[in-house]
């Protein structure tokens, strides 16, 4: 399965492991023997003699190398000693995790790219194909209605997004890789392993981004991709993750890893054993592949070919979650269907006069770099809040949506074609929850319907009547509309507020958002249903 430029190490194959260790040991010992430091040359001689005394490296040699690391660091030979210790300790199914800091120091990090704050757009990165894919082998096929709910789609509209189920993955593999690779895929019988296999294969052929199904985008991932040279992966807590890959088509590193996976499946078939996920494509399987390749000195894992994305930076743009996992049945048992306005709306690449939902204008997204502005004096009773204050944050684009025949009820509940339109704001989910518990009218239960023919702006949400929510939610939202629409267009629209809005709140809207008295349109949010 391997090309001539690299070797494939199958952990469960003791003979292959033994041959690989012999080759790597000799190469790494030779590096130490060329050191200018006498102590390092002496160490190399000690290891070579020790290896000759036994066919298998001993724990004694491993401990000797670990103890020599401080001195080796002073002599500039720490990386070579660490690689040698890794090879000596390598056993079927296990590897020395202590190599990580040396591996990390030898590869490019994206951290410097994210040291300062910056604004960003949803832009295609010239160095990578504009493709994003996920694979859900144990789910039904996702159509447009489901895809619209997926963050990697609706935050990255300039990219070609595709979600595959098992049948679609099988068709793809059969068409582009042939029957033998398809047969190996069919032998996995582990949904997560099937997903990993397909994501690697399609990434190798097409390039772009492969992400697991628990990757929920909070903002455009364009900045993450712009920071990558070669293959991009995430590092977290002294491990290399395998939940997110970005790479050009035909990447030698992705090819090598995929062929290792194929070799393992062939080994399982020949030995008549079921594949193990831990040996197939788990985090440890991927990391041991990288470490093995690093110690072998293979070119495709050099610093120019691999970029490490810090986990906290990645989390600023993509969060872990399962809410996109079963979208075909997300409304089963729900009081009413829901959908994402962002996913439903046309991205506004072209001007369309038809009465469709679309993004009229936007402010760029913004990345806020890690901060130490918040400091705690005394006992830290809420460490997660302090971490949130210090961690980097990515804010998605702020959009102005234009929609027609909109339904409005309750605490800013908005409806279209009988569906609750979700906005990516906390108060939208509060309004949804309140409606689910029967507090507000739905299109099906509306009896006092009032039609509004004039262009209008919905100027309130579930925080209505609360001073703080006017300052942090309603006024900034109106100010954004004023800025993006322009003064004339903004002032030409009615501003919808509840009939019971306090006088002081009307004063806040007038003073801070430039709302005119004659523009206000009041409605009874407890009883009425507006059709705007």
137-158 pLDDT, tens digit per residue, is 999 999 999 999 999 999 999 9
pLDDT at 483 (0 to 100): 94
Whether the pLDDT of residue 5 is over 60: the answer is no
A 10 A CB-CB count for 467 gives 12
> What is the percent of the chain with per-residue pLDDT over 70, rounded to a whole number?
94
From residue 272, how far is each of 181, 187, 192, 269, 279 by CA, in Å? Answer: 17, 11, 21, 5, 15
| pLDDT(381) > 90 | no
pLDDT at 260: 93
Q: Is the model's pLDDT at 395 over the cut of 50?
A: yes
Kindly state the percentage of the chain with pLDDT values over 90: 63
Pairing between strand 520-523 and 528-531?
A: unpaired
Q: What mean pLDDT do residues 76-81 have?
A: 88
* pLDDT tens-digit readout, 225-251: 999 999 999 999 999 999 999 999 999
- CA angle at 278 for the pair 274 and 282, rounded to the nearest 5°: 125
Distance separating alpha carbons of residues 154 and 340, to the nearest angstrom? 9
DSSP-assigned letter for residue 471: I
The pLDDT mean for the chain works out to 89
In the predicted model, what is the mean pLDDT of residues 273-278?
94
Residue 286 confidence (pLDDT): 96
Region 192-220: what's the mean pLDDT?
97
pLDDT of residue 178: 97
Interval 464-471 mean pLDDT? 89
Q: Are 8 and 2 in contact (CB under 8 A)?
A: yes
User: CA-CA distance, 406 to 525, in Å (whole number)?
Assistant: 15
Q: Which residue has the tokens 């925080």?
A: 463
- 170 compared with 352, residue with greater pLDDT: 170
pLDDT over 80 (residue 42): yes
The pLDDT value given to residue 9: 57
- In degrees and rounded to multiples of 5, residue 456 shows phi and psi of -140, 160
Would you say 420 and 432 are in contact if contact means Cβ atoms under 8 Å apart? Answer: yes
Q: Which of 23-37, 191-205, 494-508 has the lowest mean pLDDT?
A: 23-37
pLDDT at 18: 81
pLDDT tens digits, residue range 302-321?
767 899 999 999 999 999 99
508 pLDDT exceeds 90? yes
Which range, of 5-14, 32-41, 261-270, 465-474, averages the lowest pLDDT?
Answer: 5-14
Structure token digits, residue 202: 């399609």
CA 379 to chain CA centroid, nearest Å: 33
Given this model, what pLDDT does residue 4 score?
A: 33
Distance of CA 458 to the CA centre of its chain: 32
């Amino acid at each position: 399965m391997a090309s001539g430029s690299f070797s494939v190490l199958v952990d469960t194959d003791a003979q292959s492991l033994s041959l690989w260790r012999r080759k790597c040991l000799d190469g790494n010992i030779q590096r130490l023997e060329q050191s200018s430091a006498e102590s390092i040359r002496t160490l190399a001689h000690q290891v070579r003699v020790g290896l000759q005394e036994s066919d298998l490296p001993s724990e004694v040699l491993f401990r000797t190398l670990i103890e020599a690391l401080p001195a080796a660091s002073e002599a500039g030979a720490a990386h070579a000693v660490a690689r040698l210790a890794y090879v000596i300790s390598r056993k079927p199914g296990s590897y020395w995790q202590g190599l990580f800091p040396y591996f990390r120091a030898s590869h490019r990090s994206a951290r410097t790219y994210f040291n300062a704050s910056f604004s960003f757009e949803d832009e295609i990165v010239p160095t990578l194909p504009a493709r994003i894919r996920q694979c859900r082998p144990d789910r039904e096929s996702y159509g447009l209605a489901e895809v619209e709910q997926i963050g990697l789609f609706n935050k990255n509209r300039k990219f070609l997004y595709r979600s595959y189920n098992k049948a679609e993955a099988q068709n793809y593999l059969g068409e582009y890789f042939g029957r033998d690779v398809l047969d190996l895929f069919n032998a996995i019988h582990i949904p997560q392993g099937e997903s990993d296999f397909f994501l690697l294969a399609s990434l190798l052929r097409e390039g772009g981004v492969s992400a697991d199904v628990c990757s929920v985008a909070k903002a455009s991932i364009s900045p993450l991709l712009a920071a990558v040279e070669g293959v991009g992966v995430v590092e977290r807590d002294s491990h290399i993750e395998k939940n997110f890959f970005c790479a050009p088509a035909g990447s030698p590193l992705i090819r090598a890893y995929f062929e290792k996976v194929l070799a393992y499946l062939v080994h399982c078939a020949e030995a008549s054993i079921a594949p193990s996920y831990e040996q197939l494509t788990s985090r440890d399987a991927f990391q041991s592949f990288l470490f093995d390749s690093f110690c072998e000195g293979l070119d495709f894992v050099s610093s120019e070919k691999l970029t490490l994305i810090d986990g906290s930076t990645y989390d600023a743009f993509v969060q872990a979650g399962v809410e996109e996992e079963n979208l075909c049945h997300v409304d089963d048992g729900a009081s009413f269907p829901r959908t994402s306005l962002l996913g439903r709306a046309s991205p506004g690449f072209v001007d369309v006069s038809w009465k469709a939902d679309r993004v009229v204008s936007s402010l760029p997204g913004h990345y806020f770099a890690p901060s130490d502005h918040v400091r705690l004096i005394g006992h830290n009773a809420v460490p997660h809040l302090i971490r949130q204050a210090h961690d980097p944050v990515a804010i998605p684009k702020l959009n102005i949506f234009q929609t027609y025949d909109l339904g409005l009820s309750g605490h800013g509940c908005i409806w279209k074609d009988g569906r609750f339109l979700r906005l990516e704001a906390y108060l939208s989910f509060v309004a949804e929850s309140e409606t689910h518990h029967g507090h507000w009218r739905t299109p099906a239960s509306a009896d006092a319907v009032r039609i509004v023919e004039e262009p209008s702006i919905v100027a309130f949400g579930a925080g209505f009547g609360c001073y703080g929510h006017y300052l942090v939610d309603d006024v900034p939202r109106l100010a954004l509309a004023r800025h993006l629409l322009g003064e004339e267009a903004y002032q030409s629209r009615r501003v919808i507020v509840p009939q019971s809005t306090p006088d002081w709140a009307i004063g806040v809207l007038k003073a801070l958002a430039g709302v005119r008295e004659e523009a206000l349109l009041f409605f009874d949010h407890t009883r009425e249903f507006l059709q705007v």
